[in-house]
Structure 1
Amino acid sequence: MNFNYVSYDMMLDAIYCNLAALPRDLDLVVGLPRSGMIPAYAIGLILNLPVVDLQSFIDNKFVGNGHTRSLRSAIAAPHLARKLLLVDDSCNSGASVDRALIQIADSGYRGLTQTCAAIVTPYSKRLVDFSFLTVSEPRVFQWNLFHHSILSNACLDFDGVLCVDPTDDENDDGENYKRFLLNAAPLHLPTPKVGHIVSARLEKYRGETEDWLSMHGVIYGELHLLDLPNKQERIRTNAHLVHKSEIYKQTNADLFVESNLDQAQHIAANTGLPVFCVDSMQMINSLGNNPGALNRALWRSVYLRSRNVASRYLPKDITAFLKNRFGRTGR
């Protein structure tokens, strides 16, 4: 199964590329906490408008906007906005936006509310007034990956994903390493139960590894470690790459989350399955690229930045195709 992945960069780039779709008579941007505040603040900064979260709007309170420059809309209170833009990061069923619209109406606000979701599906696009990026299911975002139900049938690397990597001094296959295993600083702690944790740690360190997982509240199905006598043997046999690829295939998992880019590319090429790389924050398929549905956003960005040159030098039928394919707004 390939997942359509959206990073922070992809979302922000799509917002920039679709600015012309947004009305310019807005007075206020209202974000839906928590993830909706990311595109809300991006839009507010670009359009130089005040931004509040939904609860602050309902309470008719500003939360402060800094003093580096004057805002384009100088309303004294949120309910004085003549027109506001309600923003969420994504829209699937439209339920979150609908609930927010009811809350806004019940708050006594009498202005005009328009809705926006940064990311929509082909179906949910019609449920909001404005959108920036259309991505089909199944999909996962950079900001929700470690809290997504996808992890229930995923394989997660350990060092560099769940916790920091050991330093050279700590990675001595002895007492320093044992202290590291028990005290490693956490990185990405998953919220749901993880199907499989797949690590190149040696089986003899299972006790310390399980203690760390318990200490940090990580719930998991199986812990797969390397059954080799020492670090030297692991390095000599290059067993870590084979180990991760084989476990991934045997478990029929939907995704592998790996810390190292080279290893992520190797696992993807070896299995033909998607791998998310934490170091580069990208989804890699067996070709080493993001799924094709997301490349459209990148090509769209290239087109919008070079369309004047394209229209001057390319045949009309080609420029017409490019405009139809990449030049439409996300509304």
Structure 2
Amino acid sequence: MFGYVSFAQLSTAIRSQLYTIPKDVDLIVGIPRSGMVPAYQIGLFLNRLVCDIDGFLLDGAISHGHTRKLGVSLTSLRQARHILLVDDSIATGGSMQKALARIKDSGYAGRISTCAAIVAPSHKSSVDVSFITMPQPRLFEWNAFHHACVENACFDLDGVLCVDPTAHDNDDGPRYEKWLANAIPLFRPTLRIGHIVSARLEKYRSLTEDWLAANNISYGQLHLVDLPSKAERIRLGAHCAHKIRVYRETGATMFYESNLGQAQEIATGSGKPVLCIDDMTMVMPGASHIAATAKSALWRLRAPLGLAKGWVKQQLRSSRTPVSGS
């Protein structure tokens, strides 16, 4: 089962533990690309300049907005006396060590503190600063559509790979067929999707396959609902039953679902986690979405109390989202 961190959780964890960052840090240096996510959050919270490692090594131009005055003013990047070298996570520690070696080999004589926002328990001591301790496997909001788990995952279609149809377009007739052919893409996974699981009807398979091909979305199998009409699908309540069955039978390890209500039902029915795209939260199987995600925040993230409380509040707000979509 995957541990999960969203942008919101990451921001909350950093904000609640800013005191762990040395007070004399005067420049934040991120390791591209994912390391720039926590690097900019830290830089904004501390009101410090932020750059990537290549910009620092080249002593590139300093640029920042003029809305507020910086906490530390630098005339050049390498003038910084104490830098915080930041990555989003540590798996083996290799990326951090390579980045650290590059800076030291450049002749930089200042102090370097290392930071990985998310660390495995076995690598917590590998960096000076971290905010979330989480064992592998793990998934982050910023890599969710490009993570290796995509290849063994089930993906909802409408609301995930493309925008949802409007009520006007979703007439199970000519307007819907036109919409299917011209649906606007939403998220495009980098890797081959294991299974696309949609409540679309089998009679629209050809139009759906054509759209997927036209948008260069690679996948293993396309699972649609074998019923004659939208009305019959609604009468039988086939949306979630279809998705739960495929999720269980395929042995997939993750389901990407657009709608929170359906995500809850799929998680409960399958006994497996569901990533809800509407609010980018991980819905865990259990008695309720709120209870499961609260438990996940307290146990899986092992975060400070402030993060856990913020996470529960976020889920209480999310639980008010009405159920809709396909």
- In structure 2, the partner of 1:135 is 134
2:305 corresponds to 1:301: yes
Structure 2 length-normalised TM:
0.89
Return closer, same or farther for 1:194/1:303 CA change in 2, 3 Å cut-off.
closer
Q: Is the 8 A contact 2:16 2:307 kept in 1?
A: no
| Gapped regions of structure 2 (runs ≥ 5) | 310-326
Q: Is the 8 A contact 1:156 1:197 kept in 2?
A: yes
- In structure 2, the partner of 1:85 is 84
Partners of 1:58 and 1:100 lie apart in 2 by 11
What one-letter code is carried by the residue in structure 2 that aligns with 1:62?
A
2:172 corresponds to 1:173: yes
RMSD: 1.7
Partners of 2:307 and 2:92 lie apart in 1 by 31
Q: Is the 8 A contact 1:194 1:220 kept in 2?
A: yes
Aligned residue runs from structure 1 range 7-86, under 5 A: 7-86=6-85
Partners of 2:308 and 2:47 lie apart in 1 by 22
Partners of 2:6 and 2:293 lie apart in 1 by 11
Structure 1 length-normalised TM:
0.88
> Share of identical aligned residues, percent?
50
Q: CA deviation at 1:304?
A: 10
Q: Is the 8 A contact 1:10 1:298 kept in 2?
A: no
For these two proteins, the number of residue pairs brought into alignment is 304
Q: CA deviation at 1:151?
A: 1.1
Q: Is the 8 A contact 1:17 1:304 kept in 2?
A: no
Q: Is the 8 A contact 2:119 2:132 kept in 1?
A: yes
Q: CA deviation at 1:172?
A: 0.9
> Aligned with 1:90: secondary structure?
strand
Higher relative contact order (CA 8 A, sep 6+): 1
What one-letter code is carried by the residue in structure 2 that aligns with 1:162?
L
> Aligned with 2:293: secondary structure?
coil
> Aligned with 1:147: secondary structure?
coil
- In structure 2, the partner of 1:149 is 148
Q: Is the 8 A contact 1:88 1:118 kept in 2?
A: yes
Q: CA deviation at 1:217?
A: 1.2
Partners of 1:79 and 1:244 lie apart in 2 by 54
| Gapped regions of structure 1 (runs ≥ 5) | 306-331
2:281 corresponds to 1:278: no
- 4+ residue stretches of structure 1 with deviation over 6 A? none
2:4 corresponds to 1:5: yes
Q: Is the 8 A contact 2:294 2:308 kept in 1?
A: no
Aligned residue runs from structure 1 range 227-246, under 5 A: 227-246=226-245
- In structure 2, the partner of 1:202 is 201
Q: CA deviation at 1:34?
A: 1.5
> Aligned with 1:118: secondary structure?
strand
